[in-house]
Structure 1
């Protein structure tokens, strides 16, 4: 679990640094957000990298898995840089702190509880599919009410997933695998899962607590 959170923390730091570098460069911003081909290409690239890591990681070499994971965090930093344009720096920092606090509490609960969280996790996964579909529909409806329903549902779902995924990752550990290629790959895929939970929870909370720039 120390390795998992180490990889997760590294990815979050890379994403934050890349996002800050991006907003400081007008040329990079123009390249990403003024060109739909580039922007949607980055989004598709993110989905492809997550799919590759989720489905193919155990067939990769450890260095390839590491590079793929870190590349995803870089691309995510490029696309997430838009939040620094939309929200004030103070509200972003405050929301990050709140996210870290909530995530930390739920991760500790998931790690130490003796209760099986599988049923709750399955409900959350179904709910996640629901908010993905609702988000796609709302791209056409542009409904404010549906936007806020998705947001608050997302906070609940990703908060619960922080506990469920922590318990699941803990159970993935196999005694005797320490230091093996299998162990390193499990650390990376575990970090990716928690990274996605954290980022999505942060985005949902930012919708609620974030202060828009004038």
Structure 2
């Protein structure tokens, strides 16, 4: 009987340790993601301020009745360099995902923050197109929706891993449609892309959260802190991308333009 109690006690201790480790792991994922978001929006806001001026003498191109693009703004938003700015985050994330296994966890974290800054440069034009109040409002809506979806992914007993292949196919379709619409400039297609994109990234938020949890539980017993560190960063990257894309899609649907 004593042996049975000892086994039960050991099992309970192991289970408690795993639960505590999982909470710490998820806290690191959300913390890393949050810092990345802060870097992105700080970079976007700061750059948009440098890209626009109200002084006609300092501007090189007129943006509206009272606003002008500075030389920096012209390079970023009106010159051929805009294509580099637009697609840089996509190239960055593919390269990061391919090379992370060769990085240390500390290096991967720095690269993630660098990617967040690049994303900030890429989306900085939202501060020129949409009102500040509208951006803040949509950000709050996105944060509430993201929190609820991520909580569902973390707590649900249902296995939603089967969603993955369909959602990834949806993301590929969105990328292709978005590239096509750059040349078509169809408002109807943009509306469809945004509406479908919100649903896809909402599903990915729940899916990625559950995936982060199950991957941790599958590898927690190994005690490989380096792998777990990089797994937390990749988890933060996936949730970060879900949030940013959902935010951008909602902003296209509900944002008030300047």
Mapping for residues 147-186 of structure 1, pairs under 5 Å? 147-173=190-216, 174-176=219-221, 180-186=225-231
Q: Which moved more, 1:83-92 or 1:133-142?
A: 133-142
- Would the aligned equivalents of 2:32 and 2:236 in 1 still touch at CA under 8 Å? yes
Q: Which moved more, 1:139-148 or 1:167-176?
A: 139-148
- Would the aligned equivalents of 1:5 and 1:191 in 2 still touch at CA under 8 Å? yes
SS state at 2:162 partner: helix
Number of the residue aligned with 2:30: 5
Q: Which moved more, 1:127-136 or 1:78-87?
A: 127-136
Between the aligned partners of 2:129 and 2:86, the Cα distance in structure 1 is: 19
One of 15, 21, 36 as aligned partner of 2:46: 21
Alignment TM-score, normalising by the size of structure 1: 0.92
Q: 5+ residue gaps in structure 1? A: none
- Would the aligned equivalents of 1:177 and 1:183 in 2 still touch at CA under 8 Å? no
Q: CA RMSD in A?
A: 1.7
Number of residue pairs matched by the alignment:
212
Question: CA offsets per residue over residues 85-127 of structure 1, 9 Å max, x none?
Answer: 0000001000000000111100000001011112223222211
Alignment TM-score, normalising by the size of structure 2: 0.77
The alpha carbon displacement at 1:23 in A equals 1.5
Higher Cα radius of gyration = 2
Between the aligned partners of 2:151 and 2:206, the Cα distance in structure 1 is: 7
Mapping for residues 25-44 of structure 1, pairs under 5 Å? 25-26=50-51, 27=70, 28-37=72-81, 39-44=82-87
Number of the residue aligned with 2:118: 75
